[in-house]
Structure 1
Amino acid sequence: MNLVEKQLDAAPKRYWYYGTMSVLIILLVAWSTSTVNLNNISENGLSIASNILSGIVTPDVDLLLNFTAKGVAYLLVETIAIAFLGTIIGSILAIPLAFLSASNVVPKPVAFLTRLLLIFIRTVPALVYGLMLIRVTGQGPFAGVLTIALISIGMLAKLYVDAIEDLDTSILESMTSIGCTTFEKIRYGIVPQLFAVFLSIMIYRFDMNLREASVLGLVGAGGIGAPLIFAMNAYRWNEVGSILIGLVILILIVELSSNKIRNKLIRG
């Protein structure tokens, strides 16, 4: 016990550091709360909030259980399709960019320039990409797929790079010493090390893209977001409640399934 106390006493005292950081955090919190304005909350706003809550509690069951093209089930399937296809396209396009960003694979200047490109891709918000692509392709699911693919490239490539830079190069050196071809080194030396990691990252990104696809519908890029904003603008809160309930159930199912698959992949 005395030894522990001596070590604690010998540890450098950083009271000034902790005090300064505490003051900075308090100032940031105080400055952030200055943007909160409760004066704009009127009786009309409170009534709308109560209507939203009542709509969620008492949803439109007919819309929720409607399996036509205008029902919640169909819109959820369309949202899943947009997220899934966009994730697949983005995952494929991110692979070459990831290898071009890995400093242990390509020269450092090439890796640096590619990483700058990926930073630029990640900087632009999804809604901005959606609005731009809608001008090109028109409103609909195709614009949503392209948007999901584009926003997936930046994050996927960044995570792919971490896996590539952790490659066990001794395996490749051993394969070179026994005369393996480049294809054989890729097939038996690189792919087995990266496949499970890449697939786990793709599933994780699909989970995120499902939420992004739901939001992109608000700007007309397909999925369940468009009917949601139409119902909100028309103050049809029962329909809003049905759509939100279906969306929550879908995201919970996908998240639980994706977590199980990713755990199996990581643990082998």
Structure 2
Amino acid sequence: MNERIEKAYAQRPKRWVFELSVAVIVTALIVWSATAVETSGTTQNGGKIALNILSGIFHPDTGLLFNLTVQGVPYLLLETVCIAFLGTVVGAVISIPLAFLSASNLTPKPIAFIGRIIIMAVRTVPAFIYGLMFIRVTGPGAFAGLLTMSLCSVGMVSKMYIEAIEDLDVRVLESLDAAGCTTWQKIRYGILPQLMPNFASTAIYRFDINLRDATVLGLVGAGGIGAPLIFAMNSYRWSEAGAILAGLIVLVLAVEWLSTKIRIKLARG
């Protein structure tokens, strides 16, 4: 047995030439890419800026962090959560009829195809572009962020809803139909119990995404905590930036823990 193993090991394909060639090519590409890096004027100031950033993150401005006014971190985080939550709710509600119209097992294929084209078009545009568009329409503020989150949610949530609808167990509906149930009873006892866990889990997952996107949208003036963060960084107020980042970290961890618990509960029933 040992001799056969040793013989098979000796006859193994020799790949060292290929692996060596790949390593040489990758190293050459890294060296070639490094030639485009500009370091003029950043060798000394860049190090100081990096140290200031780290110092601000580890020594946040506690006055801003625990400030309960509209300029404080708690209020800005609450505004960000409200934008993400309401945007998720509105987007999830709009996605329900759109998903039913786009499900090929419930509607004619031409209608389902048109619905999928609409959903694809909505998903194509990034959230940042939607934010800039709605700011031009409604002006800067939380309402522009709400509209942006709603429209962005429609694209992803509708796609997930369609998959859940197309995975329906039609045998349940056939059994209810054989029992003489009405259309509403079939929806109530045959469709909704199958769809609600998937719909709720998708909406919670989208809320996690919207919470992070709402932070970025603040950079363009769509409300939330993004604008104060970029202002603090541009003004080199690293302690304020550290306070905002500390609040964001705590918020994201709390929402992640809570959403995971809810999704596990929905999955296990």
Shorter-chain TM range is 0.7 to 0.9
Amino acid at match of 1:169: V
Equivalent residues, number: 252
Change (3 A) 1:255 1:175: same
Is 2:99 aligned against 1:98?
yes
> CA deviation digits over 1:217-266, x for unaligned, max 9?
00000000111111112111110000000001100000011001100101
* Structure 1 match to 2:11: none
| Superposition pairs of residues 205-244 of structure 1, within 5 angstroms | 205-244=206-245
Structure 1 unaligned regions, length at least 5? 10-14
Whole-angstrom distance in 1 between the partners of 2:69 and 2:175: 59
Name the SS of the counterpart of 2:107 in structure 1: coil
Aligned to 2:175: 174
Alignment-mate amino acid for residue 38 of structure 2: N
Q: Distance in 1 between matches of 2:34 and 2:99?
A: 40
Deviation at 1:31, TM superposition (A): 8.3
Identical positions, percent = 60
Alignment-derived partner of residue 150 in structure 1: 151
Q: What TM-score, normalized to structure 1?
A: 0.87
Cα shift at 1:30: 3.8
2-side partners of 1:171 and 1:40: how far apart? 66
In the aligned structure 2, how far is the partner of 1:72 from the partner of 1:168? Answer: 47
Give the secondary-structure state (helix, strand or coil) at the position aligned to 1:149: helix
Corresponding letter in the other structure for 1:224? I
> In 2, distance between residues paired with 1:60 and 1:113?
52
Rg larger in 1 or in 2? 2
Query: Gaps spanning 5+ residues in structure 2: where?
Result: 9-13
Is 1:202 matched up with 2:219? no
Q: Distance in 1 between matches of 2:124 and 2:253?
A: 28
Q: Which amino acid aligns with 1:105?
A: L
Partners of 2:190 and 2:127 in 1: how far apart?
36
Following the alignment from structure 1 to structure 2, what is the Cα–Cα distance between the partners of residues 176 and 31?
Answer: 65
Determine helix, strand or coil for the equivalent of 1:204.
helix
TM-score calculated relative to the size of structure 2:
0.87
- Structure 1 residues 53, 191: closer, same or farther in 2, change over 3 A? same
CA distance change for structure 1 residues 254 and 40 in 2, over 3 Å: closer, same or farther? same
Query: Deviations 1:108-134 (Å, cap 9, x if unpaired)?
Result: 222222112111111111110000000
Query: What is the CA-CA distance between 1:75 and the residue it aligns to?
Result: 0.5
CA distance in 1, matches of 2:239, 2:157: 38
Residue aligning to 1:12 = none
> C-alpha separation between the residues in 2 aligned to 1:128 and 1:186?
38
AA matched with 1:39:
E
Residues 35 and 81 of structure 1: CA distance in aligned 2, closer, same or farther (over 3 Å): farther
Partner residue in 2 for 1:159 = 160
